[in-house]
Structure 1
Amino acid sequence: MTLSQLRTFALVAKLGSLHAAAAALGVSEPAVSTAIAALRQDLGDPLFVRAHGGIALTAGGRALANYAQEIIGLADRARWEVSHASTDTGRLRIVATAPFAEHAAGRLLDLFTKRVPGVSVDVVVESAADIASLLLERAYDIALGARPAETVATVAGRELEMIPFLRYQRVFVVAATNPLAGLHGPVALAQLLDRPWFAGPSGIQEHSDEGRWLASTGVAPEIIRLSSETDALAAVRAGEGTMLAIGHIVRAELQSGALVRVPVVGTPVSGLWWVTTLDRRRTTTTARTLQRFVTTADATAAMIAPGGSRGLERRGSKIHVALWS
């Protein structure tokens, strides 16, 4: 069985005709027949029979057609990567969910590009609901942040590899001067509904851990979305309302008393950030390198360190991350 034979068979199966496959390949029809005959002999299956002026695949032919398309796709991808190895081996297209992009992407990727010289990264923020399909379409090489939407990930479970790499917690915070700062726990979530809730540009996404927690409470607050969680936190700091903030981001201000945690029932809300790639047969070497790196102690230390990237730039319908170095 050769790649040329599989490519020929895949076209016959797709076009439903030896003549059409020969024309598409730019070869003679006898050449197509010879390739199919070799496959039939190798696999011990007729693969298809003639029917109604075309062909009808056997059960074995349908199975081979699926494998043939997959193998050809892998071969084309390998050929492309080899041909671009000298100029594109370090290019990494990253899709991230907004909170991870804002609070951790800059520090993580700054360290990664220092450890792996020559790597060029581009980060685009998308919803967790779209991550799985974007990876499967090869629009991006790797995803960082919230786990892809489970309804999609379940269907694509054999094609995506998802690894948790950083646990975080979210807590409700207010300014020390805010009346909510005087509440003692446990505080019912409903007690916060008459106060403004702030969030970053993505709000509280339903496919995030905090989104699932909020849905479980049955409460649907009106959330004011600002250009970043940093801006949302500034509004909270000014006494304008509350937000569900990442614990390690506000730790210093909680310790100093500038911010106060509201002890809402069910909080802190625990979450996980995930690294997601196509499975190992399909993903790129550079994506695998980042996948391994994000699980290291050095990467964790970088992501939870104070300071870092805060720039989210909107370009059309997408948000890009302004990385720092």
Structure 2
Amino acid sequence: MTPAQLRAFSAIARLGSVKAAAADLAVTEAAVSMHIAHLRRELGDRLFTRTAGTLAFTPGGLRLASRAAELLGLQDRTILEVRHAGSGRRQLRIAASTLFAEHAAPGLIELFAHRAADLDVELSVHDPDRFPVLLRTRAVDVAIGPRPAAVEATMTCTHFLNYQIVAVVGADHPLAGRTVGATELREQTWLLGPSAVGRTGLVPSVLRRLSVPDHNQRIFQSQAACVDEAKNGKGIALAVSFAVTKAVAAGDLHRLDGPHLPARGSWNLLALADREAPEAAAELRRFVTTPRATQAMLRGAGVTAGRFRPAIHVTLWS
């Protein structure tokens, strides 16, 4: 099997047709078909058949689709490591949930990267449901966020920090200083960050428990933007408790006590087993549980420009 053959098959599995795979790879349909024919002869399996305008994959084809993604990811990772080794630098790619990326990642990255002069860190934000796939395909080296419902045997999960989500309103909001019930909470305007999108994580869980209707939810580009709107009396914001401690102490925000509030969660580091993970990933897993790391996450001032390379991802809501 060659990388070109695996890329052709992986594109077909991902996109659902030879034509779409050829367009994605910028090659002819004949070239894609030739790669598939070579794989079929070598593996002794049809891999897939065409039925009613769609593709039906054989059990062997489904297994190859999974392995092809892993092998291609490993190839890309190897190329990256060789290039960085030649330049004397290493790179650590971190996938994170939105809450962790905004509130705790900057301090952690600043302190961790400062310990190794040859290390660059890339942070990207993803839905935690995709963490296992990102790790299996070597798209990232570690993933940080809520603990998965099940941890795969080839991966390790390290718990390192507990946190609370609290509901806050501005000082002049009608609910300030009151204990409120679920019905009254549901009727309010909720000011939410990107962590509210999707079904995984603490914020979506709180909204489901309270049965907050969609028309009462306003999504902002960050948790900080939500908190600013709450200070102006525009509604209820869900915030990480340590991020609003000063504002609450100063009287700019008031915490609401009510059902399912505050909500408690934890952040965990997911990685491939030691023999599969890059050295920097194992280093981070050991470091993240230390008191210095915890202090940096709670109080960090951000990472020095040039050491932190964010990967840009855009999410559109309609």
Same fold (TM over 0.5): yes
CA drift at 1:303: 0.6
* 283, 287, 299: which one aligns with 2:281: 287
Q: Which residue of 2 aligns with 1:181?
A: 176
1:117 aligns with 2:117: yes
1:159 aligns with 2:154: yes
User: What percentage of residue pairs aligned between the two structures are identical?
Assistant: 29
Q: Which residue of 2 aligns with 1:142?
A: 142
CA drift at 1:177: 0.6
Q: Which residue of 1 aligns with 2:314?
A: 317
Q: Which residue of 2 aligns with 1:198?
A: 191
1:126 aligns with 2:126: yes
Inter-CA distance 234–87: structure 2 relative to 1 (3 Å threshold): same
CA drift at 1:132: 1.4
Q: Which residue of 1 aligns with 2:35?
A: none
Q: Which runs of 5+ in 1 are unaligned?
A: 1-13, 22-49, 51-61, 320-325
Counterpart Cα distance in 1 of 2:94 and 2:105 = 10
Inter-CA distance 296–306: structure 2 relative to 1 (3 Å threshold): closer
Q: Which residues of 2 match residues 72-87 of structure 1 at below 5 A?
A: 83-84=82-83, 85-87=85-87
Counterpart Cα distance in 2 of 1:176 and 1:168 = 24
Inter-CA distance 257–128: structure 2 relative to 1 (3 Å threshold): same
SS in 2 for 1:235: helix
Inter-CA distance 218–178: structure 2 relative to 1 (3 Å threshold): closer
Counterpart Cα distance in 1 of 2:127 and 2:218 = 18
Inter-CA distance 96–88: structure 2 relative to 1 (3 Å threshold): farther
The answer as to whether partners of 2:165 and 2:239 remain within 8 angstroms in 1 is yes
Q: Which residues of 2 match residues 239-318 of structure 1 at below 5 A?
A: 239-305=233-299, 307-308=301-302, 315=312, 317=314
1:84-138 deviations in whole A, cap 9, x for unaligned?
5343751111111111111111111011111122101111111112121111111
Counterpart Cα distance in 2 of 1:243 and 1:103 = 15
Inter-CA distance 105–318: structure 2 relative to 1 (3 Å threshold): farther
Counterpart Cα distance in 1 of 2:256 and 2:222 = 22
Counterpart Cα distance in 1 of 2:96 and 2:289 = 16
* Equivalent residue letter for 1:293: F
* Equivalent residue letter for 1:144: I
The answer as to whether partners of 1:164 and 1:275 remain within 8 angstroms in 2 is yes
The answer as to whether partners of 2:165 and 2:238 remain within 8 angstroms in 1 is yes
Counterpart Cα distance in 2 of 1:122 and 1:82 = 14
CA drift at 1:145: 2.2
Inter-CA distance 82–211: structure 2 relative to 1 (3 Å threshold): closer
Aligned residues: 252
* Equivalent residue letter for 1:246: V
Inter-CA distance 249–16: structure 2 relative to 1 (3 Å threshold): closer
Q: Which residue of 1 aligns with 2:231?
A: 237
CA drift at 1:147: 3.0
Q: Which runs of 5+ in 2 are unaligned?
A: 1-37, 45-59
Counterpart Cα distance in 2 of 1:258 and 1:306 = 22
Counterpart Cα distance in 2 of 1:200 and 1:78 = 32
Inter-CA distance 130–115: structure 2 relative to 1 (3 Å threshold): same
Inter-CA distance 219–201: structure 2 relative to 1 (3 Å threshold): closer
The answer as to whether partners of 2:193 and 2:223 remain within 8 angstroms in 1 is yes
The answer as to whether partners of 2:74 and 2:138 remain within 8 angstroms in 1 is no
* Equivalent residue letter for 1:317: V
Inter-CA distance 15–126: structure 2 relative to 1 (3 Å threshold): closer
Structure (1 or 2) with the larger CA radius of gyration: 1
Counterpart Cα distance in 2 of 1:178 and 1:273 = 31
Q: Which residue of 2 aligns with 1:215?
A: 208
